[in-house]
Amino acid sequence: MSQNSHNQSSHPETPEKPRAGAQEVAERAGVSVMTVSRVFSGSASVAEKTRQRVLEAARALDYQPNIAARALRTGRAETIGFLLQSPGALLGHFHSQALAAFESVLSKHDLSVLISIAPEGESYRRWAHDLLRSGRCGGLVVQSDEISERQLTALRKIDAPMVLMNFRPDASPEDFGLTTVGYDNRGGTEQVVRHLTALGHRRIAFISGTPTHHDAIRREEAFIAVTCSMGLDVPVDWIRSGDFSRAFECGAAETEYLISEQGNGPTAVICASDEIAMGALQCARRCGIEVPRDLSIVGFDNLRASAYTAPPLTTVEHSGFDLGLLVAELLINQIENPRTPPTKHVLETRLIVRESTAQPHPDRNH
With CB under 5 to 8 Å by kind, the binding choice for 323 among a second copy, DNA, none is none
CB of 62 to DNA, least distance (A): 12
CB of 307 to DNA, least distance (A): 49
The answer to the question of residue 38 lying near DNA (CB under 7 A) is: yes
With CB under 5 to 8 Å by kind, the binding choice for 113 among DNA, a second copy, none is a second copy
Question: Long-range contacts: 332-340, Cβ < 8 Å, 24+?
Answer: 332/105, 332/106, 332/109, 332/111, 334/139, 334/161, 334/162, 334/163, 334/179, 335/138, 335/139, 335/161, 338/161, 340/179
Dist. CA 62–CA 70, nearest whole Å = 18
What are the residues whose beta carbons fall under 8 Å from the beta carbon of 271, sequence distance 6 or more? Answer: 206, 207, 242, 251, 277, 280, 297, 298, 299, 300
What is the secondary structure of 136-163 as a DSSP string? S-SEEEEE-TT--HHHHHHHHT--S-EE
Whether 300 contacts 326, CB under 8 Å: no
The answer to the question of residue 132 lying near DNA (CB under 7 A) is: no
145 phi and psi, to 5 degrees? -55, -35
With CB under 5 to 8 Å by kind, the binding choice for 228 among a second copy, DNA, none is none
With CB under 5 to 8 Å by kind, the binding choice for 197 among a second copy, DNA, none is none
Instruction: Indicate the residue among 62 and 322 with the shorter CB distance to a second copy.
Output: 62
From residue 50 to residue 89, what is the string marking binding to DNA with x (rule CB under 7 A)? xx-----------xxxx--xx-xxxx--------------
CB of 236 to DNA, least distance (A): 57
Instruction: Indicate the residue among 222 and 331 with the shorter CB distance to a second copy.
Output: 331
Q: Using only C-alpha atoms, what is the Rg of the chain?
A: 27
User: 3-class secondary structure for 230-265?
Assistant: CCCCCCHHHEECCCHHHHHHHHHHHHHHHHCCCCCC
The answer to the question of residue 23 lying near DNA (CB under 7 A) is: yes
Instruction: Indicate the residue among 222 and 284 with the shorter CB distance to a second copy.
Output: 284
Which residue, 190, 188, 306, 186, is CA-closest to 251? 306
CB of 68 to DNA, least distance (A): 7
With CB under 5 to 8 Å by kind, the binding choice for 62 among a second copy, DNA, none is a second copy
Whether 185 contacts 94, CB under 8 Å: no
Beta bridge partners of 269: 205, 297
Which residue, 43, 40, 42, 48, is CA-closest to 20? 40
Whether 114 contacts 79, CB under 8 Å: yes
CB of 95 to a second copy, least distance (A): 9
CB of 103 to a second copy, least distance (A): 5
The answer to the question of residue 31 lying near DNA (CB under 7 A) is: yes
The answer to the question of residue 44 lying near DNA (CB under 7 A) is: yes
Question: Of these, 3, 12, 13, 47, which contacts DNA (CB under 7 A)?
Answer: 47
Dist. CA 213–CA 244, nearest whole Å = 8
CB of 339 to DNA, least distance (A): 18
CB of 26 to a second copy, least distance (A): 18
Dist. CA 356–CA 222, nearest whole Å = 21
CB of 50 to DNA, least distance (A): 3
Dist. CA 243–CA 233, nearest whole Å = 25
Dist. CA 338–CA 159, nearest whole Å = 10
Instruction: Indicate the residue among 57 and 84 with the shorter CB distance to DNA.
Output: 57
Binders of DNA among residues 188 to 227 (CB under 7 A) are: none
With CB under 5 to 8 Å by kind, the binding choice for 43 among a second copy, DNA, none is DNA
Instruction: Indicate the residue among 116 and 343 with the shorter CB distance to a second copy.
Output: 116
The answer to the question of residue 93 lying near DNA (CB under 7 A) is: no
Instruction: Indicate the residue among 23 and 340 with the shorter CB distance to DNA.
Output: 23
Q: Which positions lie near DNA, rule CB under 7 A? A: 19, 21-23, 30-38, 40-41, 43-47, 49-51, 63-66, 69-70, 72-75
